[in-house]
Amino acid sequence: MAKPPTKSSAPGSPPTANAMWGGRFASGPAAVMAAINTSLDVDKRLAAEDVEGSLAHAEMLGAQGIVPQADVTSIIDGLKKIQNELAAGSFPFRPEMEDIHMNVEARLAELIGDAAGRLHTARSRNDQVATDFRLWVRRQIDAIDRGLQELQRALIDKAEAEAATIMPGFTHLQTAQPVTFGHHLLAYVEMLGRDRSRFKDARQRLNESPLGAAALAGTSFPIDRHRTAMALEFTAPMANSLDAVADRDFAIEFLAAASICAMHMSRFAEEIVLWCSAQFQFIRLSDAFTTGSSIMPQKRNPDAAELSRAKIGRILGAFTGLLTVMKGLPLTYSKDMQEDKASTFDAAD
Ligand code: ARG
CA separation, residue 176 to residues 155, 168, 188 (Å): 23, 7, 19
Q: What is residue 15's predicted lDDT score, i.e. its pLDDT?
A: 59
pLDDT at 19: 65
Is any ligand 1 atom within 6 A of the Cβ of residue 185? Answer: no
Q: How far is the CA of 98 from the centre of ligand 1 (A)?
A: 9
Is 172 known to be catalytic? yes
Kindly give the distance from the C-alpha atom of residue 139 to the centroid of ligand 1, in angstroms, as a whole number: 21
Q: What is the mean pLDDT of residues 235-255?
A: 98
Per the residue annotation, which of 13, 172, 286, 294 is the catalytic one?
A: 172
Per-residue confidence (pLDDT) for residue 126, from 0 to 100: 98
Distance of alpha carbon 248 from the chain centroid: 12
**Please, what is the Cα angle at 272 between 298 and 254, to 5 degrees?**
140
Q: What pLDDT band is residue 9 in, cutting at 50, 70 and 90?
A: very low
Atom of ligand 1 nearest to the CA of 335: 12
pLDDT digits (tens, 9 = 90+) for 26-56: 788 899 999 999 999 999 999 999 999 999 9
* 225/209 Cα distance (integer angstroms): 8
- Kindly indicate the confidence band of residue 90, based on its pLDDT and cuts at 50, 70 and 90: very high
Residue with the bigger pLDDT between 166 and 14: it is: 166
Q: Is 334 helix (H, G, I), strand (E, B) or coil?
A: coil
334 C-alpha vs ligand 1 centroid, how far in Å? 8
Q: Is residue 125 in contact with ligand 1, taking CB distance under 6 Å? A: yes
Over the Cα atoms of the chain, what is R_g?
Answer: 25
Q: What percent of the chain has pLDDT over 90?
A: 90
**293 is annotated as an active-site residue:** yes
**Ligand 1 centroid distance, CA of 333 (Å):** 8
Mutate which of 129, 136, 337 to test ligand 1's pocket (most atoms within 8 Å of Cβ)? 129
For residue 99, give the ligand 1 atom closest to its CA: 1
Amino acid at 128: Q
DSSP string covering 234-282, please? -SEE-S-HHHHHH--HHHHHHHHHHHHHHHHHHHHHHHHHHHTSTTT--
Closest alpha carbon to 306 in 265, 345, 348, 343: 265
The closest residue, in CA terms, to atom 7 on ligand 1 is: 125
Among protein residues, the one with the nearest Cα to ligand 1's atom 2 is 338
Q: Which of 146, 238, 198, 192 is nearest to 319 (CA)?
A: 198
Q: Is 131 a pocket residue for ligand 1 (Cβ < 6 Å)? A: no
What are the pLDDT digits (tens) for 301-316? 999 999 999 999 999 9
Give the pLDDT confidence score for residue 214 in this predicted structure: 98
